[in-house]
Chain A
């Protein structure tokens, strides 16, 4: 950075990171916005690759106008030199240097106290570093999928994955899909696939819609969300998508490729009703059971977590000085909540980096929206819970850890035979969670089978790092320059 403004590194260019960047840049802070994708937007505003030259990318999105406002504001700040956007940067570690520079600006952050370490491009072998006075973690979340027989057959993928492939590359994996699991994400996935010409044979939701009616207070506070739901319902009807509630997929069939799924009805205890199984032919199963926050960077920085969410105060500050967090990393709650949190975090960081006490009145509308949306998503969480007896579906042959091919039987043996009572012990006894994804996919399943809570994994790095990069770490660094 050429001038003397304080410097904030925002990690993640989804709704929270974009809102934070725009807010902080508008209040006198230099921002480096760092994202792993080729284009800003995150998962929610994921754009088709530029070379695909999409004339109507909004056909796969909603709240497009919000995206356009954010995109325009970002472009304005980039042009004015207040924001540097680093795309294709995969951050693997944020390092905090204690007391290396004396704080010259007051506020919480030490001057240049943070180094963000990233790997460039899809191959992720070349390192890049960014120094900053403070960091704002807007790393979002990823999908939770609970195992069942056949969930490793090609053609079975996460609901968010189906959506990401559709939004980002305009590709679908087959002709006939079933969308299944639980949670609000299933609606845009099913309607998106249907609009793109895929026959959606069924939307299989394990939750009971009647449970919503009992939560009228949270619903009444969010008329926009209710209207959104109604829109999706109308689209499902228009595309003739069969909606099966209180149902679950009990098995996916196929060898080299998915051929069909078996679905069944759930009883009030969340158990499959015997005799209700039926087979639905399909070549794609998009399945998801909710979302999990990405908290690796926060964990390595030493930020306190609340369960699996990064804990923040009213200003979106973590308990580590100079580190803010916003969006789904602080708890799953959708794009609108991420925007509100990002805005508040950006305002707070700007004020504190400029050495002033922030005035919460300046973000009162965002704070109000944050409160209501958190209430709404807390209510949704109780409705959209995976079937209570989902572990019944995990047979001894079912692969639980996809990377290390650890079966349900092996996990049960570790739990029942060897006394493992937590994810880490199961990992040590079975290798579940020791592969490429580092337990991101199997963590919830192992926790469920071990009868314990899902706990943060304390991974030293947020993604695999080539040994050569680690070997060179600590040598004199050069700051990443924009292309």
Chain B
């Protein structure tokens, strides 16, 4: 079974820990929030303002704003663009992200 890391012969530095809603997840240096969450098996991390529906990555290049998430208490960060650092805290974003 191949993996993207194996296919590209990637040798990232040691994984570090970040949290998603308080739960520890592993991230690799250079990974964006979206990449780390995908790797941890998470594909949705916000709910919409109107209907409270789940959303995750859609365009993957910063155009659509569907993947908004709260990172280090800052809401509305695009998970597909923001790189992670050790100790970062990610929170599922509800609605506009400004209510909590």
Binding site for B on A (CB under 8 A): 36, 38, 43, 48-57, 59-60, 122-123, 142-143, 152-158, 160-166, 168-174, 195-197, 255-258, 283, 402-405, 435-437, 440-441
Q: Quick check: A441 and B59 within 8 Å, CB to CB?
A: yes
Q: Quick check: A171 and B77 within 8 Å, CB to CB?
A: no
Q: Quick check: A52 and B65 within 8 Å, CB to CB?
A: no
Q: Quick check: B54 and A154 within 8 Å, CB to CB?
A: yes
The residue that B30 contacts in the complex, of A52, A153, A164, A196, with Cβ under 8 A, is: A52
**Also in contact, A257 and B77, with CB within 8 A (given A170-B4, A170-B35, A440-B64):** no
Tally of B interface residues using CB under 8 Å? 50
Q: Quick check: B31 and A171 within 8 Å, CB to CB?
A: yes
Number of A-B contacts (CB under 8 A): 170
**Also in contact, A173 and B53, with CB within 8 A (given A43-B61, A52-B28, A54-B8):** no
The residue that A122 contacts in the complex, of B29, B57, B68, B81, with Cβ under 8 A, is: B81
* Assembly CA distance A196 to B8 (angstroms): 9
Binding site for A on B (CB under 8 A): 1-13, 28-32, 34-35, 38-39, 43-44, 48-51, 53-66, 68, 74, 77-78, 80-83
Pick from A53, A154, A195 the residue with the most CB of B within 10 Å.
Answer: A154
Q: Which residues of A contact B30 (CB under 8 A)?
A: 48-52, 169
* Assembly CA distance A52 to B28 (angstroms): 7
The residue that A197 contacts in the complex, of B7, B34, B56, with Cβ under 8 A, is: B7
Nearest chain A CB to B72's CB is how many angstroms away? 10
Residue of B nearest to A441 (CB): B64
Q: Quick check: A142 and B61 within 8 Å, CB to CB?
A: yes
Q: Quick check: A169 and B31 within 8 Å, CB to CB?
A: yes
Tell me the interface secondary structure of chain A in the complex.
loop
Q: Which residues of A contact B7 (CB under 8 A)?
A: 56, 59-60, 170, 195-197
The residue that B82 contacts in the complex, of A50, A123, A257, A258, with Cβ under 8 A, is: A123
Pick from B10, B13, B43, B77 the residue with the most CB of A within 10 Å.
Answer: B43
**Also in contact, A59 and B48, with CB within 8 A (given A52-B29, A171-B35):** no
The residue that B2 contacts in the complex, of A52, A196, A403, with Cβ under 8 A, is: A196
**Also in contact, A154 and B56, with CB within 8 A (given A122-B77, A122-B81):** yes
Residue of A nearest to B3 (CB): A197
* Assembly CA distance A197 to B58 (angstroms): 21
Residue of A nearest to B1 (CB): A197
**Also in contact, A160 and B59, with CB within 8 A (given A55-B9, A165-B35, A169-B32):** yes
Q: Which residues of A contact B55 (CB under 8 A)?
A: 152, 154, 402
Nearest chain A CB to B56's CB is how many angstroms away? 4
* Assembly CA distance A437 to B7 (angstroms): 33
Q: Quick check: B63 and A437 within 8 Å, CB to CB?
A: yes
**Also in contact, A164 and B4, with CB within 8 A (given A152-B53, A169-B31):** no
Residue of A nearest to B68 (CB): A436
Nearest chain B CB to A223's CB is how many angstroms away? 29
Q: Which residues of A contact B77 (CB under 8 A)?
A: 122-123
Q: Quick check: A173 and B38 within 8 Å, CB to CB?
A: yes
Nearest chain B CB to A410's CB is how many angstroms away? 12
7 new A-B contacts at CB < 8 Å, known A196-B2, A256-B44: A36-B62, A52-B5, A154-B55, A165-B35, A165-B60, A169-B31, A404-B50
Q: Quick check: B59 and A196 within 8 Å, CB to CB?
A: no
Q: Which residues of A contact B3 (CB under 8 A)?
A: 196-197
